[in-house]
Amino acid sequence: MSIQTANHSALTPLRFLERSAEVYPTRTAILHGERSYTYGEFAQAAQLLAAALAADVAPGERVAVLTPNTPESIFAHFAAPLAGVTLVALNTRLTRPEISDILRHCEARVLLVDTELVERIEGIRELVPSLTKVIEINDSVSGLPLTGSSSVATDYESYVSAQTPLTTTRPYEVADEDAVITINYTSGTTGTPKGVMYSHRGAYLASLGSVVHNQFTAESNYLWTLPMFHCNGWCTAWAVTAAGGTQVCLRAVDADAIWDAIDDLEVSHICGAPAVCTTIATADRAHALDRPLRITTAGAPPSPTVIGQLEEIGVHVVHVYGLTETYGPFTICEHQAGWPDLPADERAVLLSRQGVGMLQAEQARVVDLDMVDVPADGETMGEIVLRGNNVMVGYFRNKAATEEAFHGGWFHTGDLGVMHPDGYVQVKDRAKDIVISGGENISTVEVEQALLRHPQIVDVAVIGVPDAKWGEHPRAFVITEPGVTLSVEEVVAHAREWIAGYKVPRDIVFADGLPRTSTGKVMKHELRTR
Amino acid sequence: MSIQTANHSALTPLRFLERSAEVYPTRTAILHGERSYTYGEFAQAAQLLAAALAADVAPGERVAVLTPNTPESIFAHFAAPLAGVTLVALNTRLTRPEISDILRHCEARVLLVDTELVERIEGIRELVPSLTKVIEINDSVSGLPLTGSSSVATDYESYVSAQTPLTTTRPYEVADEDAVITINYTSGTTGTPKGVMYSHRGAYLASLGSVVHNQFTAESNYLWTLPMFHCNGWCTAWAVTAAGGTQVCLRAVDADAIWDAIDDLEVSHICGAPAVCTTIATADRAHALDRPLRITTAGAPPSPTVIGQLEEIGVHVVHVYGLTETYGPFTICEHQAGWPDLPADERAVLLSRQGVGMLQAEQARVVDLDMVDVPADGETMGEIVLRGNNVMVGYFRNKAATEEAFHGGWFHTGDLGVMHPDGYVQVKDRAKDIVISGGENISTVEVEQALLRHPQIVDVAVIGVPDAKWGEHPRAFVITEPGVTLSVEEVVAHAREWIAGYKVPRDIVFADGLPRTSTGKVMKHELRTR
């Protein structure tokens, strides 16, 4: 008996690969340097990896990937659900302790790791009891030889080719559309990463929304600058597959590589943090385009200067807003009919707003502490709350945090904002102690805890400060033991031992004390005005 | 407590109007001659009608509309679900007995009827005990005065303006996404129309699929030549609203009116039967276009000649296939990369195929009597079966027909076809006794029964024969009493008393007898080869 009935099938992104492999078997699905896969080959690769995973990971258990943007990561986004297991895509900038914490928390069974990152996971099996196998992805584009590391069981090619010839094709379907398809770990305010669970249904709808809003078609060429470990690349691996378009992988964000792809591969779509926009706009090779290119950006509003530079060369810039908890983008700053005629600075102000709920999402609300909508006056601050199919299932094995996030029946973003009279939301400040730098979430609490491990640091507070390139960067106010003088370099070197490089504050302010409330809470708003 | 939870909302097309009214309140949603509605006004109109309906129709009961393509029909597509009632859009070509049969079957409470059609429903309340109110839609574009008919309770404007000022706005949500949103009556093989039930979930997904495949955007201008009573206009009233585009109504398909709209209103999309394509292509005013125009056609494959004529003036022709039971289109003949370079006749052959499952649908299959897929050789015939979210809930109050249609867990189309090696389905013949003429389903059984009511006709068989303009037309083989001679005009005049004009056969063959099987069944395939 089939999982599906005649008039009801469970929503799952797996359908997208099934369809494109049938309709466009010889069309190019994935490009990566000299490597290239048709949709037929893509489906075959996903089936092979699924067969291999199914032998090592029980249904519902987790498989993790630690890799730059490579075809194998795209394969895994389909292979894991095909095998009935849950995918955990790890941030490639995490340190060994951070990675092992996550793998322990999700009890990962198998880890796929790119050659470039194998040294990061040396000895990890001793730290993660559940982990039975580490597979090395040796991407020829990296130019690196297999590591031969004793931590690695085998390499990816051997792992999957052991399944050939495939005797059965797994069906591109799922029994329960509310089942968990992936878990994305995100820095929480407590400093402990939380595992954000996505469902098949949510991923399917977010992908369709992405197709509609990005206008992905079978002619689209999508360039991967956004990491696939961020909200599963905003569900774009699924969305571009739905449209039958081509995904172009990039191991690292690099102006030359991006412009090569734009010029030689007719890239039509890019998603990324404002820093990526800046990289593209300010590259020496930047030039006027003769084809449409759409860049969707989030994490911080794009600066008027960068918007102006991009529009001048013919790029259409779209600003979206979301969180790991919302499958990536939830709102979009829809361009209105009259906007192209406005002066550039006025338009930039409008485009800097986070906007309105996307088609597959619901309206964003801005509410006061009693969950009452604030006036839509563009001035009254409240918390931005969201709900609907574009909101996560919950935090994996963290009922308390899930309940807190969902109190009142809405997901609490922790972002403070205003509602404009035209229904557009604008983020004004962050209620949670998170700094977003270059599109990465940095928990200020986590940074503070790392700094406090230094024997001569007695107190610390970290805030986010505006940064022209990265949107924000973390600034640490450090109080040392009386009579002790530390250098910035000493503090940075200490922090690097404990947290990923992108979290390490270089902006250190040595202070005499911190402003605290009567209950002992640091008044960070006071620090921000210093 | 809200119907929705933080991370799960019931899929419903109502969300589309909610969003577009918020995001594009001043954008033109509907154009109809001199009449024009912004999205804000559209939402207000739907709310007013919903409030009026809620006073007369209990939750879950039916409201019917009998109108050409007018703004009121679009309003009703949102107002009925807003009020929690089910919409039944009636074919405007039906006779009074046909209309009253349907209204009795669905126990309609309220009927909205256009002035032009009021004479068709005179005295209908006596035939339909459930019907408490008939409302006359007096469309100023028709130029007709209110009828003043005693069958009519009030006119539309009075009906809805009694609700002003609206004190509450109904939420654009539904408790259960599997609830029935509309019922579409279709001619069945038995001659008794069957009520095809659509769900909110199915309508939502079919609409999103329509947005993706038609590439509807907020800049789209959709011209209504397809009747809204056909599969709710293939869900296009919802789909265009989702995209925030403009819907242009037409009371009747007319070459001049269509070309006026193309030239003056920048129409970008049209859906319709092949006859509409022919009307557009062969109009005296047909000329090369300077903007993209996409025409999606179904019901019969577009002819190579018409495809050629349309492509020559710059129209992109898309061929889709579906049934009332599949929310309209289920498969689409996706254009492949190499096709534009093929000779016109070869391309027309490829485009005449029904194609592959749409994104929101599943794969179409072609199976033998044991539900085993026939070889994908383009030659072996089988029945086309479909399943998934794009298949109806079932037939209203007709369990036997529903079970028969769904036997084996798939919806049986009754269409015989082949599967090509490239995965494209092609319809070759019809297993069911249905003639599709000008996009309208005609039950041969129903026509036969009408003809047999003539006292001097003793036997009859109706088949469909190819028709250059209408795709097919019905041909009746008529056996009269011995010694009696009837004229074609007499037979036609008789039939017109009982069935809608489009069902009446003009192609009459007077025969001596009908070829029958040993069990008495007419061998229609034998008639077809005559």
Per residue in A344-375, pLDDT (tens digit) is 888 888 998 999 999 999 999 999 989 999 99
Per residue in A75-89, pLDDT (tens digit) is 999 999 999 999 999
Residues near A112 by Cβ (< 8 Å), separated by ≥ 6?
Answer: A63, A64, A65, A66, A67, A72, A76, A135, A137, A156
Residue B441 within a domain: yes
- Rounded to whole angstroms, how far apart are CA atoms B210 and A422? 28
Per-residue pLDDT band at B165 (split at 50, 70, 90): very high
Per-residue pLDDT band at A275 (split at 50, 70, 90): confident
Report the pLDDT value the prediction gives residue B76, as an integer from 0 to 100.
Answer: 98
Structure tokens at B163: 């609700």
- Rounded to whole angstroms, how far apart are CA atoms A170 and A166? 10
Q: Quick one: which of A317, A217, A323, A327 has its CA closest to A276? A: A317
- Rounded to whole angstroms, how far apart are CA atoms B454 and B490? 10
Q: Are residues B407 and B314 in the same domain?
A: yes
Q: Which long-range contacts (CB under 8 A, 24 or more apart) does B162-168 make?
A: B162/B52, B163/B48, B163/B51, B163/B52, B164/B48, B166/B44, B166/B47, B166/B48, B166/B51
Residue B462 within a domain: yes
Q: Are residues A332 and A458 in the same domain?
A: no
- Rounded to whole angstroms, how far apart are CA atoms A323 and B21? 25
The domain boundary, picked from A430, A449, A478, lies at: A430
Structure tokens at A403: 């309940």
Per residue in B450-499, pLDDT (tens digit) is 898 898 998 889 999 988 888 889 999 999 988 999 999 999 999 998 89
Q: Are residues B487 and B359 in the same domain?
A: no
As a whole number, mean pLDDT of residues A2-19 equals 90
A334–B363: do the CB atoms touch at under 8 Å? no
Q: Quick one: which of B289, B336, B339, B295 has its CA closest to B319? A: B295
Judge residue A431's burial from the number of C-beta atoms within 10 Å of its C-beta, 0-12 exposed, 13-18 middle, 19 or more buried.
Answer: middle
- Tell me the C-alpha to C-alpha distance, in Å, between residue B480 and each of A456, B457, B460: 111, 4, 9
B7–A410: do the CB atoms touch at under 8 Å? no
Secondary structure class of B494 (helix, strand, coil):
helix
The domain boundary, picked from A430, A464, A481, lies at: A430
ipTM: 0.90
Per-residue pLDDT band at B333 (split at 50, 70, 90): very high
pTM: 0.90
* Chain A residues close to B337, C-beta within 8 Å: 27
* Chain B residues close to A22, C-beta within 8 Å: 356, 363, 423
A406–B212: do the CB atoms touch at under 8 Å? no
Lowest mean pLDDT among A40-54, A187-201, A254-268, B242-256: A187-201
Residues near B489 by Cβ (< 8 Å), separated by ≥ 6?
Answer: none
Q: Are residues A311 and A264 in the same domain?
A: yes
Query: Is A357's Cβ below 8 Å from some Cβ in B?
Result: yes
A22–B410: do the CB atoms touch at under 8 Å? no
The domain boundary, picked from A413, A430, A447, lies at: A430
**Tally: H helices and E strands in chain B:** 17, 26
Left, alpha or beta for A483 (phi > 0: left; psi -120 to 50: alpha)?
left
- Rounded to whole angstroms, how far apart are CA atoms A63 and B435? 54
Report the pLDDT value the prediction gives residue A1, as an integer from 0 to 100.
Answer: 33
Residue A225 within a domain: no
For the cut 50, the answer to whether the pLDDT of residue A2 exceeds it is: no
Residue A223 within a domain: no
Q: Are residues B411 and B438 in the same domain?
A: no
Chain-centre distance for alpha carbon A206: 14
Interface of A with B in 125-154 (CB under 8 A): none
C-alpha distance from B10 to closest chain A C-alpha (Å): 8
Residue B30 within a domain: no
Q: Are residues B301 and B356 in the same domain?
A: yes
∠ CA A325-A329-A334, nearest 5°, is 150
Residue A87 within a domain: yes
What share of chain B in percent tops pLDDT 90?
A: 79
Tell me how many domains chain B contains.
3
Report the pLDDT value the prediction gives residue B518, as an integer from 0 to 100.
Answer: 62
CATH number of the domain within which A193 lies? 3.40.50.12780
Domain holding A476, by residue range, is 434-528
Query: Is B410's Cβ below 8 Å from some Cβ in A?
Result: yes
Per residue in A380-398, pLDDT (tens digit) is 989 999 999 999 999 999 9
Per-residue pLDDT band at B2 (split at 50, 70, 90): very low
Per residue in A484-503, pLDDT (tens digit) is 999 999 999 999 988 899 99
Per-residue pLDDT band at B445 (split at 50, 70, 90): confident
Report the pLDDT value the prediction gives residue B517, as an integer from 0 to 100.
Answer: 67
Q: Are residues B291 and B379 in the same domain?
A: yes
Per residue in B413-437, pLDDT (tens digit) is 989 899 999 999 998 877 677 888 8
CATH number of the domain within which B450 lies? 3.30.300.30
Q: Are residues A47 and A103 in the same domain?
A: yes
Structure tokens at B125: 């309340």
Structure tokens at B448: 């036969």
Q: Are residues A382 and A441 in the same domain?
A: no
Q: Are residues A20 and A150 in the same domain?
A: yes
Residue A382 within a domain: yes
Residue B5 within a domain: no
Q: Are residues A376 and A482 in the same domain?
A: no
Q: Are residues A291 and A410 in the same domain?
A: yes
CB crowding A196-217: b at 16 or more within 10 Å, else e: bbbbbbbbbbbbbbbbbbbbbe
- Rounded to whole angstroms, how far apart are CA atoms B520 and A152? 75
Secondary structure class of B168 (helix, strand, coil):
coil
C-alpha distance from A511 to closest chain B C-alpha (Å): 43
If you ran DSSP here, which 8-state letter would residue B495 be given? H
Per residue in A84-108, pLDDT (tens digit) is 999 999 999 999 999 999 999 999 9
C-alpha distance from A415 to closest chain B C-alpha (Å): 17
- Tell me how crowded residue B500 is: count the other CB atoms within 10 A of its CB: 20
- Radius of gyration in angstroms for the set of CA atoms belonging to chain B, rounded to a whole number: 23
Most B CBs within 10 Å, among A2, A7, A238, to test the B interface: A7
- Rounded to whole angstroms, how far apart are CA atoms B62 and B80? 9
If you ran DSSP here, which 8-state letter would residue A35 be given? E
- Rounded to whole angstroms, how far apart are CA atoms B130 and B127? 9
Per-residue pLDDT band at B1 (split at 50, 70, 90): very low
C-alpha distance from B27 to closest chain A C-alpha (Å): 8
Chain-centre distance for alpha carbon A494: 27
